[in-house]
Amino acid sequence: MHGKHTLAVEVTNVSPLGLWMLIQEVEYYLPYTEFPWFKQATIEQVIQVEMPVDGHLYWSLLDIDLAVESITSPEKYPLVS
């Protein structure tokens, strides 16, 4: 064993259709159709994500806040622009 994984959140892959995130050891897919704020973002902007409190994600370079529940249950969080 090389060491303990200490990140609570990290972006593991960015594709033309969405991004993959590892959040507290669970992998999630965020399609741009449901999370359009990330579609035009640079890789640098997308990977700079933190979890300031449990269940809450923040991308400082994009000024985006998301509840983890909005990823697990997007039907509870309709898109509003």
In this structure, what CATH number is given to the domain that contains residue 16? 3.30.2020.40
Q: Which residues pair with 22 in a beta bridge?
A: 10, 27
The count of C-alpha atoms lying within 13 angstroms of the C-alpha of 45, restricted to the half-sphere facing its C-beta, is 10
Please give the pLDDT value at position 6.
Answer: 53
Q: How many domains is the chain built from?
A: 1
pLDDT for the residue 4? 47
- Three-state secondary structure call for residue 13: strand
**Residue 78 · residue 70 · CB < 8 Å:** no
Strand ranges across the sheet with 49-53: 49-53, 56-59, 64-67
Lowest mean pLDDT among 4-13, 39-48, 67-76: 4-13
Domain range enclosing 40: 9-76
pTM of the model: 0.81
The DSSP call for residue 75 is: G
Mean pLDDT of the chain: 89
- Tell whether 34 is covered by a domain: yes
pLDDT tens sequence across 29-59:
999 999 999 999 999 999 999 999 999 999 9
